[in-house]
Protein backbone atom coordinates (compact mmCIF):
# COMPACT_ATOMS: atom_id res chain seq x y z
CA UNK A 1 0.00 0.00 0.00
CA UNK A 2 1.45 3.29 -1.09
CA UNK A 3 2.66 6.11 1.14
CA UNK A 4 0.55 8.49 -0.95
CA UNK A 5 -2.62 6.54 -0.11
CA UNK A 6 -1.67 6.52 3.59
CA UNK A 7 -1.21 10.30 3.57
CA UNK A 8 -4.57 10.78 1.83
CA UNK A 9 -6.26 8.39 4.25
CA UNK A 10 -4.89 10.38 7.22
CA UNK A 11 -6.13 13.64 5.70
CA UNK A 12 -9.63 12.29 5.04
CA UNK A 13 -9.88 10.76 8.52
CA UNK A 14 -8.74 14.03 10.13
CA UNK A 15 -11.47 15.96 8.32
CA UNK A 16 -14.15 13.39 9.21
CA UNK A 17 -13.22 12.59 12.81
CA UNK A 18 -10.83 15.26 14.08
CA UNK A 19 -8.28 12.51 14.83
CA UNK A 20 -4.82 13.36 13.50
CA UNK A 21 -2.91 10.13 12.89
CA UNK A 22 0.30 12.14 12.50
CA UNK A 23 0.35 12.22 16.31
CA UNK A 24 0.41 8.41 16.47
CA UNK A 25 3.36 6.07 15.89
CA UNK A 26 3.05 5.19 12.17
CA UNK A 27 4.34 1.60 12.23
CA UNK A 28 2.03 0.48 15.05
CA UNK A 29 -0.96 2.36 13.65
CA UNK A 30 -0.48 1.04 10.11
CA UNK A 31 -0.22 -2.50 11.47
CA UNK A 32 -3.38 -2.15 13.57
CA UNK A 33 -5.37 -0.52 10.76
CA UNK A 34 -4.01 -3.05 8.27
CA UNK A 35 -5.34 -5.92 10.38
CA UNK A 36 -8.78 -4.32 10.44
CA UNK A 37 -8.68 -3.64 6.70
CA UNK A 38 -7.90 -7.32 6.05
CA UNK A 39 -10.85 -8.41 8.20
CA UNK A 40 -13.19 -6.23 6.14
CA UNK A 41 -11.76 -7.08 2.71
CA UNK A 42 -10.38 -3.62 1.90
CA UNK A 43 -7.87 -3.50 -0.96
CA UNK A 44 -6.15 -0.37 0.34
CA UNK A 45 -6.47 2.69 2.55
CA UNK A 46 -8.73 4.62 0.19
CA UNK A 47 -10.99 1.62 -0.36
CA UNK A 48 -11.17 1.21 3.43
CA UNK A 49 -12.06 4.87 3.92
CA UNK A 50 -14.88 4.39 1.40
CA UNK A 51 -16.17 1.50 3.50
CA UNK A 52 -16.02 3.70 6.63
CA UNK A 53 -17.99 6.42 4.85
CA UNK A 54 -20.64 3.97 3.66
CA UNK A 55 -21.08 2.02 6.90
CA UNK A 56 -21.72 4.00 10.12
CA UNK A 57 -21.47 0.83 12.20
CA UNK A 58 -18.02 0.05 10.79
CA UNK A 59 -16.95 3.66 11.29
CA UNK A 60 -17.96 3.51 14.97
CA UNK A 61 -16.10 0.20 15.35
CA UNK A 62 -13.03 1.79 13.76
CA UNK A 63 -13.09 4.84 16.07
CA UNK A 64 -13.50 2.56 19.11
CA UNK A 65 -10.59 0.50 17.79
CA UNK A 66 -8.41 3.59 17.43
CA UNK A 67 -9.21 5.06 20.82
CA UNK A 68 -8.56 1.79 22.71
CA UNK A 69 -11.51 1.84 25.10
CA UNK A 70 -10.31 -0.77 27.58
CA UNK A 71 -10.87 0.08 31.22
CA UNK A 72 -12.08 -1.13 34.60
CA UNK A 73 -12.78 0.27 38.06
CA UNK A 74 -9.69 0.84 40.23
CA UNK A 75 -7.43 -0.31 37.39
CA UNK A 76 -4.07 -1.37 38.88
CA UNK A 77 -5.42 -1.54 42.46
CA UNK A 78 -2.04 -1.01 44.14
CA UNK A 79 -1.70 2.39 42.44
CA UNK A 80 -5.22 3.38 43.51
CA UNK A 81 -4.23 2.29 47.01
CA UNK A 82 -1.36 4.81 46.88
CA UNK A 83 -3.77 7.39 45.51
CA UNK A 84 -6.20 6.80 48.38
CA UNK A 85 -3.71 6.52 51.23
CA UNK A 86 -0.98 8.98 50.20
CA UNK A 87 -1.70 11.22 47.22
CA UNK A 88 -5.26 12.36 47.97
CA UNK A 89 -4.62 13.00 51.71
CA UNK A 90 -1.50 14.96 50.74
CA UNK A 91 -3.48 17.11 48.29
CA UNK A 92 -6.25 17.65 50.85
CA UNK A 93 -3.73 19.29 53.18
CA UNK A 94 -3.48 22.12 50.65
CA UNK A 95 -7.09 22.30 49.44
CA UNK A 96 -10.27 21.00 51.08
CA UNK A 97 -12.09 20.77 47.73
CA UNK A 98 -10.09 19.16 44.95
CA UNK A 99 -10.26 19.90 41.23
CA UNK A 100 -9.51 16.63 39.38
CA UNK A 101 -9.34 15.74 35.68
CA UNK A 102 -9.66 12.19 34.35
CA UNK A 103 -8.31 12.58 30.79
CA UNK A 104 -9.30 9.83 28.36
CA UNK A 105 -11.97 8.52 30.72
CA UNK A 106 -13.52 6.01 28.27
CA UNK A 107 -16.65 4.43 29.87
CA UNK A 108 -16.26 6.32 33.15
CA UNK A 109 -14.75 3.63 35.38
CA UNK A 110 -11.81 5.83 36.39
CA UNK A 111 -13.72 9.01 37.36
CA UNK A 112 -16.37 6.97 39.18
CA UNK A 113 -13.57 5.15 41.04
CA UNK A 114 -12.35 8.58 42.12
CA UNK A 115 -15.85 9.62 43.20
CA UNK A 116 -16.17 6.51 45.37
CA UNK A 117 -12.72 6.99 46.86
CA UNK A 118 -13.28 10.67 47.65
CA UNK A 119 -16.64 9.92 49.24
CA UNK A 120 -14.91 7.43 51.54
CA UNK A 121 -12.15 9.90 52.47
CA UNK A 122 -14.26 13.10 52.69
CA UNK A 123 -17.92 12.02 52.89
CA UNK A 124 -19.31 15.53 53.35
CA UNK A 125 -17.38 17.25 50.55
CA UNK A 126 -18.23 17.26 46.84
CA UNK A 127 -15.03 17.66 44.87
CA UNK A 128 -14.98 18.53 41.18
CA UNK A 129 -14.22 15.59 38.89
CA UNK A 130 -13.96 16.46 35.19
CA UNK A 131 -13.93 13.42 32.90
CA UNK A 132 -13.15 13.81 29.20
CA UNK A 133 -12.84 11.59 26.16
CA UNK A 134 -12.68 11.91 22.40
CA UNK A 135 -15.33 9.23 21.80
CA UNK A 136 -18.91 10.46 22.19
CA UNK A 137 -20.26 6.89 22.28
CA UNK A 138 -18.03 6.07 25.24
CA UNK A 139 -19.11 9.27 27.01
CA UNK A 140 -22.76 8.31 26.54
CA UNK A 141 -22.06 4.91 28.12
CA UNK A 142 -20.14 6.59 30.93
CA UNK A 143 -23.07 8.86 31.75
CA UNK A 144 -25.37 5.81 31.97
CA UNK A 145 -23.00 4.22 34.50
CA UNK A 146 -23.89 0.60 33.70
CA UNK A 147 -21.16 -2.04 33.68
CA UNK A 148 -20.31 -5.69 33.11
CA UNK A 149 -19.00 -7.79 35.98
CA UNK A 150 -15.42 -7.97 34.58
CA UNK A 151 -15.20 -4.17 34.74
CA UNK A 152 -16.05 -4.32 38.47
CA UNK A 153 -13.66 -7.09 39.54
CA UNK A 154 -11.43 -4.79 41.63
CA UNK A 155 -14.29 -3.46 43.78
CA UNK A 156 -14.69 -5.13 47.19
CA UNK A 157 -18.19 -6.44 48.02
CA UNK A 158 -18.85 -3.73 50.63
CA UNK A 159 -18.29 -0.96 48.07
CA UNK A 160 -20.28 -2.83 45.41
CA UNK A 161 -23.26 -3.04 47.77
CA UNK A 162 -22.91 0.58 48.84
CA UNK A 163 -22.46 2.28 45.48
CA UNK A 164 -24.07 -0.01 42.87
CA UNK A 165 -27.41 -1.64 42.22
CA UNK A 166 -28.08 -4.70 40.10
CA UNK A 167 -31.17 -5.03 37.94
CA UNK A 168 -31.69 -7.89 35.46
CA UNK A 169 -27.98 -8.67 35.42
CA UNK A 170 -26.90 -5.06 34.75
CA UNK A 171 -24.86 -3.32 37.44
CA UNK A 172 -25.31 0.47 37.64
CA UNK A 173 -23.51 3.00 39.81
CA UNK A 174 -25.86 5.03 41.99
CA UNK A 175 -27.17 8.47 41.08
CA UNK A 176 -25.21 10.26 43.79
CA UNK A 177 -21.87 9.06 42.36
CA UNK A 178 -22.99 9.87 38.79
CA UNK A 179 -23.85 13.40 39.84
CA UNK A 180 -20.29 13.94 41.09
CA UNK A 181 -18.69 13.53 37.66
CA UNK A 182 -18.83 16.10 34.86
CA UNK A 183 -18.37 14.51 31.42
CA UNK A 184 -17.18 16.43 28.35
CA UNK A 185 -15.96 15.55 24.87
CA UNK A 186 -12.34 16.66 24.50
CA UNK A 187 -9.46 15.97 22.10
CA UNK A 188 -6.23 15.94 24.11
CA UNK A 189 -4.12 16.67 21.05
CA UNK A 190 -6.10 19.66 19.81
CA UNK A 191 -8.47 21.24 22.33
CA UNK A 192 -7.69 23.90 24.93
CA UNK A 193 -6.94 22.74 28.49
CA UNK A 194 -8.48 24.16 31.63
CA UNK A 195 -6.07 25.10 34.42
CA UNK A 196 -6.02 24.90 38.22
CA UNK A 197 -6.12 21.11 38.66
CA UNK A 198 -4.93 19.46 41.85
CA UNK A 199 -4.75 16.06 40.17
CA UNK A 200 -4.72 14.91 36.53
CA UNK A 201 -5.02 11.25 35.57
CA UNK A 202 -4.02 10.23 32.04
CA UNK A 203 -3.49 6.49 32.13
CA UNK A 204 -3.18 4.02 29.25
CA UNK A 205 -4.18 6.73 26.77
CA UNK A 206 -0.92 7.65 25.01
CA UNK A 207 0.28 4.14 24.14
CA UNK A 208 0.29 4.81 20.36
CA UNK A 209 1.19 8.51 20.47
CA UNK A 210 4.50 9.63 19.00
CA UNK A 211 7.18 10.75 21.44
CA UNK A 212 6.67 14.33 20.22
CA UNK A 213 2.92 14.18 20.87
CA UNK A 214 3.45 12.69 24.35
CA UNK A 215 6.06 15.32 25.21
CA UNK A 216 3.74 18.15 24.16
CA UNK A 217 0.83 16.59 26.07
CA UNK A 218 2.75 16.19 29.34
CA UNK A 219 4.00 19.80 29.08
CA UNK A 220 0.40 20.98 28.64
CA UNK A 221 -0.65 18.92 31.68
CA UNK A 222 2.14 20.62 33.64
CA UNK A 223 0.68 24.02 32.73
CA UNK A 224 -2.82 22.82 33.70
CA UNK A 225 -1.77 21.75 37.22
CA UNK A 226 -1.75 24.00 40.25
CA UNK A 227 1.62 24.39 41.98
CA UNK A 228 1.85 21.23 44.09
CA UNK A 229 -0.53 19.40 41.75
CA UNK A 230 0.06 15.80 40.66
CA UNK A 231 -0.01 13.98 37.30
CA UNK A 232 -0.79 10.23 37.45
CA UNK A 233 0.15 8.16 34.35
CA UNK A 234 -0.21 4.52 33.34
CA UNK A 235 2.04 1.63 34.33
CA UNK A 236 3.85 1.54 30.96
CA UNK A 237 4.04 5.32 30.59
CA UNK A 238 6.86 6.47 32.89
CA UNK A 239 8.01 9.97 31.87
CA UNK A 240 11.77 9.65 31.51
CA UNK A 241 12.42 13.36 30.91
CA UNK A 242 10.03 14.62 33.62
CA UNK A 243 12.68 16.97 35.06
CA UNK A 244 13.09 18.71 31.70
CA UNK A 245 9.37 19.50 31.80
CA UNK A 246 9.54 20.91 35.33
CA UNK A 247 8.04 17.96 37.27
CA UNK A 248 9.52 16.38 40.36
CA UNK A 249 9.21 12.65 41.07
CA UNK A 250 6.57 11.93 43.71
CA UNK A 251 5.86 8.18 43.57
CA UNK A 252 6.30 5.68 40.71
CA UNK A 253 4.04 6.97 37.90
CA UNK A 254 3.10 10.06 39.92
CA UNK A 255 4.74 13.40 39.03
CA UNK A 256 4.35 16.66 40.90
CA UNK A 257 4.45 20.28 39.81
CA UNK A 258 6.68 22.07 42.37
CA UNK A 259 5.14 24.58 44.76
Q: 116-173: per-residue pLDDT in tens?
A: 999 999 999 999 999 999 888 889 999 999 998 778 888 999 999 999 998 877 899 9
Which DSSP string do the residues of 131-152 spell out, in sequence order?
EEES-HHHHHHHHHTEE-GGGG
Do 243 and 173 reside in the same domain of the chain? yes
- Among 67, 97, 121, identify where a domain stops: 67
Other Cβ atoms within 10 Å of 17 Cβ, number: 18
Dist CA 80 CA 91 (whole Å): 15
Span 182-205, mean pLDDT?
Answer: 95
DSSP 8-state secondary structure symbol assigned to residue 84: I
State the CATH number of the domain containing residue 138: 3.40.50.150
pLDDT of 36 higher than 80: yes
What percentage of the chain exceeds 90 in pLDDT? 72
Q: Give the model's pLDDT for residue 116.
A: 97
- Predicted pLDDT of residue 70: 62
pLDDT tier for residue 1 given thresholds of 50, 70 and 90: low
Residue 98 shares a structural domain with residue 37: no
Question: Alpha-carbon torsion 59, 61, 64, 68, what sign?
Answer: negative
Q: Would residue 194 count as lying in a domain?
A: yes
Element (H, E) at 163: helix 157-163
Residue 208 domain flag: yes
**Predicted local confidence at residue 170, as pLDDT:** 84
Provide the b/e sequence for 175-210 (b: ≥16 CB within 10 Å).
eebbebbebeebebbeeebeeebbbbbbbbbbebbe
Question: Would you say residue 124 lies in a domain?
Answer: yes
What domain range includes position 83?
Answer: 77-256
Residues 57 and 104 in one domain: no
Task: Name the DSSP class of 83.
Answer: I
* 87 plus 115 within the same structural domain: yes
Number of domains the chain contains: 2
The CA-to-CA distance between both ends of the chain, in Å, stands at 51
Q: Which of 67, 93, 112 is the last residue of a domain?
A: 67
Q: How confident is residue 43, by pLDDT bands cut at 50, 70 and 90?
A: very high
103 shares its domain with 31: no
Give the Cα separation of 103 and 111 in Å (integer). 9
Q: Are 32 and 158 in a shared domain? A: no
CA dist 204 and 104 (Å) reads 8
Same domain, 113 and 193: yes
Residue 96 falls inside a structural domain: yes
Mean pLDDT computed over 6-13:
93
**17 pLDDT higher than 90:** no
Q: Which helix (H) or strand (E) holds 120?
A: helix 109-121
Does 72 fall in a domain?
no
Considering the domain architecture, whether residues 240 and 142 belong to the same structural domain is answered as yes
Q: Point out the domain boundary residue: 67, 92, 118.
A: 67
Please check whether residues 46 and 110 belong to one and the same domain: no
> Rounded to two decimals, what is the model's pTM?
0.83
Does residue 91 register a pLDDT over 90?
A: yes
Name the packing angle between helices 26-39 and 45-54 (round to 10°). Answer: 60
Smallest CA-to-CA distance from 213 within 187, 189, 236 is with 189
Q: Which residues contact 163 (CB under 8 A, 6 or more apart)?
A: 116, 173, 174, 177
In this structure, are 33 and 63 located in the same domain?
A: yes
Do residues 93 and 209 both lie within one domain?
A: yes
Going 173 to 178 to 181 to 186, the CA torsion angle's sign is positive
Give 198 or 152, the one with higher predicted confidence. 198
Does the residue 32 lie in any domain?
Answer: yes
Q: How high is the pLDDT of residue 166?
A: 86
H helix and E strand count, the chain: 12, 10
Instruction: Give yes or no: residues 127 and 188 share one domain.
Output: yes
User: Average model confidence (pLDDT) for the chain?
Assistant: 92
> By the 8 A CB rule, do 18 and 67 touch?
no
* Mean pLDDT across 240-256: 96
Model pLDDT for residues 106-118, shown as the tens digit of each residue: 999 999 999 999 9
Amino acid sequence: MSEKDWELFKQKLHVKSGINLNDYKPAQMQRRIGNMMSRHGASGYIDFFGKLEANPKLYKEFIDFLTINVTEFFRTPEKFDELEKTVIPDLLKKSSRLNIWSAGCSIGAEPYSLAIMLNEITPHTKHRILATDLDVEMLAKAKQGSYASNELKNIPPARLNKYFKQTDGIVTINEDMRSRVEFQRHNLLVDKFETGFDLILCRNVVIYFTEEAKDALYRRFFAALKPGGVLFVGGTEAILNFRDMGYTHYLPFFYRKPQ
